[in-house]
Amino acid sequence: MANTFSKEERVAFEMMTEGFEDALVLSRNVNVFNSDSTQMERSNDTIWRPAPYILNSVDGAPGTDIGALYQDATQLSVPATLGFSKTAPWTLNASELRDALQENRLGDAAKQRIASDINIAVMNVAAAQGTVVVARPLAAAGYDDVAECDAVFNEQGIPMGARYLALSSRDYNGMASNLAARQTMNQKPTNAYERSYVGPVAGFETYKMDYANRIAVGAGTYTADTTGGNVDTVPASTVATVNGQNNVDNRTQNLTTTSNTGVVAGDCITIAGINSVHHITKQDTGQLKTFRVISVTSGTVLVISPQIVTASTTPTDAELQYKNCELVSTSGTAACTKLNIAAAAINPFWHKDAIELMPGRYAGDTDGATMLRYTSEQGIELTLTKQFEIDTRVTKYRLDTFFGVTMCAPEMAGIVLFGQT
């Protein structure tokens, strides 16, 4: 049958999928949620996924009455969408199909492209929505650069382990050059010199990207309003509407400024007088909190991430739990300083709990075609569909996947920018 896969084609598909898992370099290092297909269809492919909890502690020694100290647990959540539908299509005519290796070669090319699409989706989310910004004045030079990422994560209470850093090829090789020059580490300098291999550094698993987003020079100067809700956001699980309680996305907030001329999405800023704190202990780190511009709403309103939660005025339990900033200046206005002062490659780093991959699944109705399915260890599905056209003697093939990538915790991810002088 023209629309039936031959034994050779089935073997070729199995061989193709064997290398697919290894090609998912970045997606292997994020959390995975396998959704229910029926539920996703009925919710327009969007559901709400929980963000990490944070709770406070009290003195609970024997004999201490804590009856009045119980806190309301506030479960924050974020919308997660199956937003990526990727396909690699190709055709082979009856003449080309005389070479059995054609399908193998094209299948491998399709697999590489689909795996790249998934890796790029993970990288794009980390690069665009990670809010911890490490701006280094010089080119990538080695251990100290990664150690700064480690220090910032530690100061803000991001869990140890499961930390990852993806570097552009040039920045990665700059790291390797530094390590190759060291003489005190067994085997590490040799690997760095011979293979340009960095490996684990300062608590991060490092990866070399063959693609990287870039950030432009930040333009314009502006001042932020640091009064009221601008610097005292109250996190909430839901908000009351005419239709009942609706979920709230707490990853962003509006920030009123004097002027947004020249500001673009992706810009990295600090706000004078607003420091970061340890997410668990709430201790002031003494370092300015970094923010990302998500969008420009008007000439005087920006959407930034993360929210500024200072718990400064009669705080609720939610504010005390999710406090992420210390307001050390109460002048009412504060200068915004751009950190992306030179064009550079964006090197994302993240904790595994920051990002979630959500595999999807298509229905199997092929109606005149035939389909093979493969599911990876992470639950990512590949489908290979084949259909023969008798009029042209051309066989159509398409390799498909369906998935979503969600930033669940923007403060557990960030970017490194080199050459910021």
Look up the domain containing 184 and give its range. 128-213
Decide which of 213, 246, 266 is a domain's last residue.
Answer: 213
The CATH number covering residue 44 comes to 3.30.2400
- Binned at pLDDT 50, 70 and 90, residue 274 comes out as very high
Confirm whether 18 is domain-assigned. Answer: yes
HSE-CB of 340 using CA atoms within 13 angstroms: 30
Say whether both 248 and 286 belong to one domain.
yes
Given a contact cutoff of 8 angstroms between Cβ atoms, the answer to whether 361 and 350 are in contact is: no
Say whether both 142 and 160 belong to one domain.
yes
Phi, psi of 169 (to 5 degrees): -55, -45
The alpha carbon of 398 is separated from its chain's Cα centroid by a whole number of angstroms, namely 28
Confirm whether 347 is domain-assigned. Answer: no
Most confident stretch, 69-83, 265-279, 351-365: 265-279
Say whether both 143 and 180 belong to one domain.
yes
pLDDT over 70 (residue 247): yes
Report how far residue 191's alpha carbon sits from residue 185's, in angstroms, rounded to the nearest whole number: 11
- Binned at pLDDT 50, 70 and 90, residue 11 comes out as confident
Structure tokens at 71: 């806190």
Confirm whether 171 is domain-assigned. Answer: yes
Mean of pLDDT values over 167-178 = 86
Say whether both 327 and 226 belong to one domain.
yes
DSSP letters along 157-223, please? TPPSSSEEEEEEHHHHHHHHHHHHT-SSSSSHHHHHHHH----SBTTBEEEEES---EEPPP---EE
| Parallel, antiparallel or unpaired: strands 355-359 and 31-32 | parallel
pLDDT at 226: 85
Confirm whether 269 is domain-assigned. Answer: yes
pLDDT over 70 (residue 331): yes
Number of domains in the chain: 3
Confirm whether 397 is domain-assigned. Answer: yes
Say whether both 248 and 303 belong to one domain.
yes
pLDDT tens digit sequence for 199-208:
788 899 999 9
Confirm whether 158 is domain-assigned. Answer: yes
Say whether both 206 and 277 belong to one domain.
no
Say whether both 358 and 378 belong to one domain.
yes
Say whether both 261 and 370 belong to one domain.
no
Say whether both 118 and 203 belong to one domain.
no
Say whether both 193 and 153 belong to one domain.
yes
pLDDT tens digit sequence for 115-153:
999 999 999 999 999 999 999 999 998 889 999 999 999
| Parallel, antiparallel or unpaired: strands 394-407 and 355-359 | antiparallel
HSE-CB of 363 using CA atoms within 13 angstroms: 6
pLDDT tens digit sequence for 67-107:
888 888 899 999 999 999 999 999 999 998 888 788 888 88
Given a contact cutoff of 8 angstroms between Cβ atoms, the answer to whether 226 and 270 are in contact is: no
Report how far residue 340's alpha carbon sits from residue 108's, in angstroms, rounded to the nearest whole number: 39
pLDDT over 60 (residue 109): yes
Decide which of 189, 213, 237 is a domain's last residue.
Answer: 213
pLDDT tens digit sequence for 134-143:
999 999 988 8
